[in-house]
Structure 1
């Protein structure tokens, strides 16, 4: 109720009135064009023919490509809608919008005319009264007998304001239906949002795997360097060089991710694949952790997309081992058998078996494997080891 009473003191009805006035400008322009087109009509133009021709021309304007965009801008600006920019013309819906706009605008213009005429009644009363033609002849008496004109003028003004507010509400709803996105546009927007969400998830997984691995390895290398600083300066120097190299790689990964977020062209730097496992082994060896990699089959036969994801899975498994079981030996086995790639990362347990649950890394591994149509599992084995296993198809499954 309070909001209803506050309407005359907001911009809503007055912007709606301006919107209706623009409808009258459009209607007057179309009427002039219609009159110009019918000027050579051999006989007097019947009123129904003129109205029909004007309506037909109004609908034809709605079929033009810019009509929807112009109507939408006016609706967003004056009716305070928040409709997205159109992706394609909705010609017949826009034609219906123009026809509805001119009809509703004409009705509001008629109400405004009556309200303005009613506002003239108090003027006549102040001048001493007299006869007024207001639909029918009215007599405004001087003195107290004509004071009713004040209430009539104020009531007409308030009624006109609320009619403008009602016009605004009505046209907002019509704009959403006729100028807003159609089914095809909503589907396209949903698909685009799904693609953006998938890209963000992929980016988050890549950042977690690459940056998380680098920070974990750098932390362990820094600890090694600290311990060897006095007893073995050469080992400390090598550890510091390893930290420098891994940090530089992390900065490159971060720069590539930020470029994706900014919409910049894709980096030409190739993403690591199974062919880069030797470099990964070298980085891990510098932390003082034993890492054994066993290959069964030809990693070169693995498609690039699968190879990149497999590398990230191995990287995440090794990172988890470094983080949760520092110093424990790590074994990585890759097997190419038939049309599948099998991965297995095993390390000794240092912490309690249940402490790894719920991390983002294993969630990311599961998401990667699921997207590729494979399956993964992780958990303690035999009470003394932790194993991460994944099986990936080498080729996308055929679609029926």
Structure 2
């Protein structure tokens, strides 16, 4: 019983009823002039469906009255936007005519079913029927009184059923078109790509800073030298400050979606990565060939992050070992090559998130990344990024 009464405890049941009544207000005014004019109202209604802004009006009404959501709620699959194609116009015309037909039927039953219930009671008592009744009762019988609740129950079923029907029609006819769904999917994909990029930025920057801090702290404790400890603390401070700058920049982008992404480090700032690795005890042999400053912005920024992750992996998995870094720019193509002795095979393997990030960054720019043993006892990270 509680399940049957549940729809009548929801406000949206009555707003849907109101929505259907609103569809027949304008045609109902013509009934006072001539009933034939009321049926002729379907023609101007169809013409109204050709007006682009009509879709906005109907979408707002449908969201408010049929779903109970605000017009700006993006979770509702009813579009609040002007018609952009002839298909949109066609669906809107069908919607307007369908809403009129369903609304007319519901309005008539809303009036006639209560009248029928009163007529049944009057007939059971020996009285007369109302003059506006469409259904005439034969004679006066006492058992008509037992039937009097049925029209009201039927009206309740009509209100709930018609509300569900018109809502389904709204989602179908006022919902997004194929082009709009594709546009929304592309926007969602862009958001996911941006989140993935931010995740990589945080992983590379914060991961590098924490790795340097851990390695420096361990080396300082093992060395037992005040001079070495001072150098280690300076390296930790510098790396931590750079990580905080990166973190503040990323958080600023997250807070303000329209804020331009600026201030990201490039390969021109690679010296601080190399010095950080050297301060951690690694013997870094670096060689830069070509004009790094001529590289396009996306290439030089992603190249910096790739080099950062490669050096972080060296410190994390191999420790303070001799490392060779080669940066070459030729014909606009950037080649990064980082090699170091393979780590102790007994060391715990990493999860591979950093190497996957390197490959994703390279693929995003149409480049290639090769990671793994080189056959000569070294671990290599070689990345080629085209100028485009």
Band of TM-score, shorter chain: 0.7 to 0.9
SS at match of 1:180: coil
Name the CA distance, whole Å, in 1 between partners of 2:288 and 2:49: 67
Q: Tell me if 1:369 matches 2:362.
A: yes
RMSD: 2.9
Structure 1 equivalent of residue 93 of structure 2:
95
Structure 2 equivalent of residue 253 of structure 1:
246
Contact preservation (8 Å) 2:63, 2:78: no
Task: Judge which range, 66-75 or 82-91, deviates more.
Answer: 82-91
Q: Tell me if 1:166 matches 2:157.
A: no
> TM-score, normalising length from structure 2?
0.85
SS at match of 1:181: coil
> TM-score, normalising length from structure 1?
0.83
Measured against aligned partners, the alpha-carbon deviations of 1:97-125 in whole angstroms (never above 9, x if no partner) come to 22221211001111222211122035425
Structure 2 equivalent of residue 79 of structure 1:
66
The structural deviation recorded for 1:79 is 2.1
Q: Tell me if 1:215 matches 2:210.
A: yes
Structure 2 equivalent of residue 38 of structure 1:
none
The structural deviation recorded for 1:332 is 1.0
Name the CA distance, whole Å, in 2 between partners of 1:215 and 1:146: 89
Of 154, 170, 173 in structure 2, the residue corresponding to residue 178 of structure 1 is 173
Of 328, 334, 338 in structure 1, the residue corresponding to residue 321 of structure 2 is 328
Name the CA distance, whole Å, in 2 between partners of 1:13 and 1:87: 25
Contact preservation (8 Å) 1:348, 1:386: yes
Per the alignment, do residues 158 and 182 of structure 1 end up closer, same or farther by CA in structure 2, a change over 3 Å counting? same
SS at match of 1:341: strand
Structure 2 equivalent of residue 190 of structure 1:
185
Structure 1 equivalent of residue 39 of structure 2:
51
Contact preservation (8 Å) 2:121, 2:144: no
The structural deviation recorded for 1:379 is 1.2
The structural deviation recorded for 1:389 is 1.3
In the TM superposition, 1:310-321 aligns within 5 A as: 310-321=303-314
Contact preservation (8 Å) 2:328, 2:336: yes
SS at match of 2:150: helix
Of 128, 148, 171 in structure 1, the residue corresponding to residue 144 of structure 2 is 148
The structural deviation recorded for 1:350 is 2.4
Gaps of 5+ in 1: 36-44
Measured against aligned partners, the alpha-carbon deviations of 1:120-159 in whole angstroms (never above 9, x if no partner) come to 0354257x32232543543564xxx4133332x2221122
The structural deviation recorded for 1:277 is 1.6
Per the alignment, do residues 313 and 169 of structure 1 end up closer, same or farther by CA in structure 2, a change over 3 Å counting? same
Measured against aligned partners, the alpha-carbon deviations of 1:154-205 in whole angstroms (never above 9, x if no partner) come to 2211222222222122212221222111222222211211211221111111
